[in-house]
Amino acid sequence: MIETVDLIKKALPHLEASIPPSIKVEIVSDRTQTIRASVADVKFTLLLTIALVVGVIFIFLRKLWATVIPAVAVPLSLIGTFAVMYVLGYSLDSLSLMALTTAVGFVAEDAVVMIENIARHIEDGATPMEAAIKGAGEIGFTIVSMSISLIAVFIPLFLMGGIVGLLFREFAVTVAMSIVVSLIVSLTLTPMMSARLLTPEGNPGSLSKAVERFFDWLVAVYDRGLVVALRYRRIALTIMILTICLTMAMFVWIPKGFFPQEDTGLILGISEGSQDISPQSMANRQQAVLDVVSKDPGVVSAVGYIGPGGATVTENEGRVFITLKPVAQRSPIDEVIRRLDRALQPIQGIRLYMQAAQDITVGARLSKTQYQYTLVDVDSDELSHWAPILLQKMQALPQLSDVASDQQSAGPTLKVEINRDVASRLGVDPALVDSILYDAFGPRHVARIYTTLNEYYVILEVDPSYQLGPNALSRIYAKSTSGGMVPLSQFATVSPSTAPLAINHQGQFPSVTLSFNLAPNSTIGAAVSAVQKAAADLHMPPSIATSFQGNAQAFQSSLSSTPILILAALVAIYLILGVLYESTIHPLTIISTLPSAGLGALLTLMLVGMPLDVIGIIGIILLIGIVKKNGIMLVDFALAEERDHGLSAEEAIHRACLLRFRPILMTTLAALLGGVPLMLGTGTGSQIRQPLGYAIVGGLLISQLLTLFTTPVVYIYMDRLSGWLERRRERGRAEAVVPAA
């Protein structure tokens, strides 16, 4: 898009040179300005995220080359992702850049886990080459398990249908490709660089010793808490079960949204005059609206037109496009809209409905306000009766504002009835009356003039001063067969009446669309429920079909599919882990880490006053992939300890928790700090990224506090369950063998 706009700007001087000098061409609105600012803000966020992640690695490892190696893996993984995006035909936009920013924490985790394990063996006395070979062999399967199961999280997004699915397929593919490239880099380049660049630690400095003592203290504190949790296992298990129940309750309680409201710097408006307004009066009032809007301190320019075209279909409607100053130089866009509403109230005979333009919209229908609710009926009279009643009921709902209707059924008309008997006696052909009226009140194309460059139509019309007012019909004469001029009033009667200015249709049936904006502090979920209840309370005839359209319809679809989407992600992870571990039990141990992450995400969104929208749901799905990595590191190490050293389940998981505490803390902090810039972003377009950041940061904080204590308990109980099932199968086989003997 940016390239296309740049080419248009480059071609403008040539276009201006080919048109008459009296015609001026000016750019009144350039959406790419906000797009460029949004992309620049995301690029800054991406660089800041990389810096934060590398900083975390340095604090934990405190070695130059141990920090450089994963720092090299991050850009290499992103560059490899760019190559895959180029092959797939993707472009760098807000969603793909948001995906890359989120992926920084993921791609760093694999390299961090690998290098931390290698560094541990070097500290135990192994040479760098031996440590690289042994460490990569120990942790390689764990990294493969983490990466494959993380990609499995995105399978539901790959298969997600509808407009929302198409939007986020690119997001999911971008993150998945970055994980694949990171896996390859972590299993090949990272061990090679570790073998060549890492060296045994010399005499650490005082600062390094202080940091090391702090981490040892953390491990000791965690060990004491873990001992208590393992001693009181039933309490820990009860806490985990309560977490699951509370997560499900929070999912029901939290307000629901669709997409965050963005501040794009552009306001779209539809003006509406009274149904009996003349074109000239409409033009005057439209200009008055533009004059008031242009004086607002937050507005750069305001342009518009009246009459049919695009979203407007009648002469009493018009469009207004309001371009705002940069975000730093004005109030938020919602405040600007409210301020303009107050300033426009003194203008009589016209109403301007405004909505903030959004980068992501669903549906091609543009209405006066943002969300649409449509009534369809075969009987247009029945529709005309009930639509105003529902409109009045919706206008009283506190969740809605600026409720409007596209029904305009009170347009003034003059009905001309020809008395054929009288017309026949006067020698007037009734068939000519239509042509006479069109010549009097409509334009008539009579000729075309050709020049070397252009062609021009010659339009014949009556002087507009003779067309205005109902008395204009008294000036109409028809030529009789005798050659005389007969006034229209002698053979026709004119009576005033009303008729629809336009009859809208949906699916070939008459329809009325009621549109609305959200009231301050309201959500689309609350608004949809309120509208549905208002429609149900009216008990309209069953022949009237009602449905939401556009964003509201997409919201309903996404809301209904959200539980299925999350369940599908869990099933995909379970199946992948079951295949990797050849077990049906321990994948449940790993999945037990997820409810606390969901609880943290929902609590954080609710505390900051954000609804659970599509972006927040994507954040929860990402959390499923991030948090289960902790469970994989614990379970994988514990199983290896049981298998290689003959430890009991309790001893193995206790040892795994202590040895894996530091890499878990490091990878969690890397992913968490990857979400902080998204959460705290204030630049152009940052509103759409904030729910993702809040969900990731809140989910990781809560899950880190809970899963380090509940996962070991679940592991022990699951190990007992596995043993009980195995003994039961052995008894079953023994009982089956005895009769045969």
Domains and CATH numbers, the chain: 31-202 (1.20.1640.10), 205-253+581-741 (1.20.1640.10), 265-357 (3.30.70.1430), 411-499 (3.30.2090.10)
Q: Is the pLDDT of residue 365 over 70?
A: no
**Where does 302-361 have alpha helices with state H?**
333-344
pLDDT band at 45; cut points 50, 70, 90: confident
How far apart are alpha carbons 657 and 637 in whole angstroms? 9
The SS3 assignment for 687 reads helix
Q: Is the pLDDT of residue 16 over 90?
A: no
Q: Any idea which of 177-181, 200-204, 330-334, 624-628 has the lowest mean pLDDT?
A: 200-204
Q: Any idea which of 97-101, 160-164, 731-735 has the lowest mean pLDDT?
A: 160-164
How far apart are alpha carbons 293 and 309 in whole angstroms? 22
Residue 379 contacts by C-beta under 8 Å, 6 or more apart in sequence? Answer: 543
Q: Any idea which of 21-30, 34-43, 88-97, 496-505 has the lowest mean pLDDT?
A: 34-43
Do the Cβ atoms of 489 and 471 come closer than 8 Å? no
pLDDT band at 201; cut points 50, 70, 90: low
Q: For 397-425, what is the mean pLDDT? A: 87
Q: Any idea which of 113-122, 158-167, 715-724 has the lowest mean pLDDT?
A: 158-167
Q: Is the pLDDT of residue 203 over 70?
A: no
Q: Is the pLDDT of residue 376 over 50?
A: yes
pLDDT at 204: 65
Do the Cβ atoms of 516 and 394 come closer than 8 Å? yes
Question: Can you give the pTM of this predicted structure?
Answer: 0.77
How far apart are alpha carbons 616 and 597 in whole angstroms? 13
pLDDT band at 441; cut points 50, 70, 90: confident
How far apart are alpha carbons 162 and 201 in whole angstroms? 55
Do the Cβ atoms of 513 and 549 come closer than 8 Å? yes
Residue 406 contacts by C-beta under 8 Å, 6 or more apart in sequence? Answer: 367, 368, 502, 504, 512, 513, 515
The angle formed by the CA atoms of residues 150, 155 and 156, to the nearest 5 degrees, is 120
Q: Is the pLDDT of residue 740 over 60?
A: no
pLDDT band at 393; cut points 50, 70, 90: very high
Interval 694-726: pLDDT, tens: 998 898 888 888 888 888 888 888 888 877 877
Q: Is the pLDDT of residue 186 over 90?
A: no
Do the Cβ atoms of 517 and 369 come closer than 8 Å? yes
pLDDT at 340: 93
pLDDT at 652: 87
Q: Any idea which of 201-205, 325-329, 444-448 has the lowest mean pLDDT?
A: 201-205
Query: How much is the mean pLDDT over the chain?
Result: 83
pLDDT at 741: 46
* Structure token digits, residue 642: 């049981």
Interval 589-608: pLDDT, tens: 888 888 888 889 999 999 98
Q: Is the pLDDT of residue 141 over 70?
A: yes
